[in-house]
Amino acid sequence: MIEQLRFLGPRAVDGIEEVESSAYRRSLALEHGWGVAELGTGAGSERLAVELEDERDRPEALARCRRLLGLEADTSPIDAALGRDPLLGPLVRRRPALRVPGCTDGFELAVRAVLGQQVTLQAARNTAARLVALHGRPLAQASGGVTHLFPTPAAVARVASRELRLPRTRAGALRALALAVRDGELDLDRGADRTAARQALLAIPGIGPWTASYVAMRALGDPDAFLPGDAGVRRALERLGRDGGPASAERLAASWRPWRSYAVMHLWRSLAP
């Protein structure tokens, strides 16, 4: 869990997420009401606590937490395959059983991916926090800094670009994404048809291959998504003495199939101190 929390912490959005010491807390919009999940580590143990408005939502809340942490995957065959690669092998041995963090809601993840296009991580967090503050539903009972649920597709579809200070193209992509999910034209839940979802995402003006692959990787659970144009992938490959350009990265990653999502995680984590 430690590696997952190291990934989630720097991306936490004020209002729906909070990081305190070794604990990560976030809100959940569930069928019968709201929930707040707290994941933490310490004293050689890991903990998961879920506070719910309605106890009928407990199985779904726990399942979402498992997806968030990437616990559905058996990492043994993944480590075995990537560990034989001359480039990735040392990274796999440094961080065995590294998982791909998922998400608790595919729509939320996709919105955050769109907001993160061509901006810094901090800028994306700030914009997402503004969206939550303006259009998220306040919790009946706040849990620390977790005060809201993420906005619904219908709410995001009504957002004016000036509210979030977004470029016109990105604001249009955000609205089209929200409308597609609201109207049932785009399914971003775990278990959805990945090919259909990717095609629907790429059909939205302003959403490109990076965003579609990132959503496939974290929301749809695709173990073989790859992000050849990602800045972190480029830096990691160059640090390892390889050409980090998109075309070269794509060719290199062919030998990592069908586990390229996990290869991306190892490359990203190799950049950590």
Catalytic residues: 230
Q: Return d(Cα 67, Cα 71) in angstroms, integer.
A: 6
Q: Pick from 222, 223, 220, 225: which is nearest to 191 by CA?
A: 220
Residues 6+ apart with CB under 8 A from 74: none
Rounded to 5 degrees, what are φ and ψ at 118? 60, 25
Q: Are 258 and 77 in contact (CB under 8 A)?
A: no
Rounded to 5 degrees, what are φ and ψ at 21? 55, -115
Rounded to 5 degrees, what are φ and ψ at 48? -135, 125
Q: What are 187's two structure tokens? A: 């399914």
Within a 10 A sphere around the Cβ of 42, how many other Cβ atoms?
A: 10
Q: Return d(Cα 134, Cα 48) in angstroms, integer.
A: 29
Q: Are 127 and 118 in contact (CB under 8 A)?
A: no
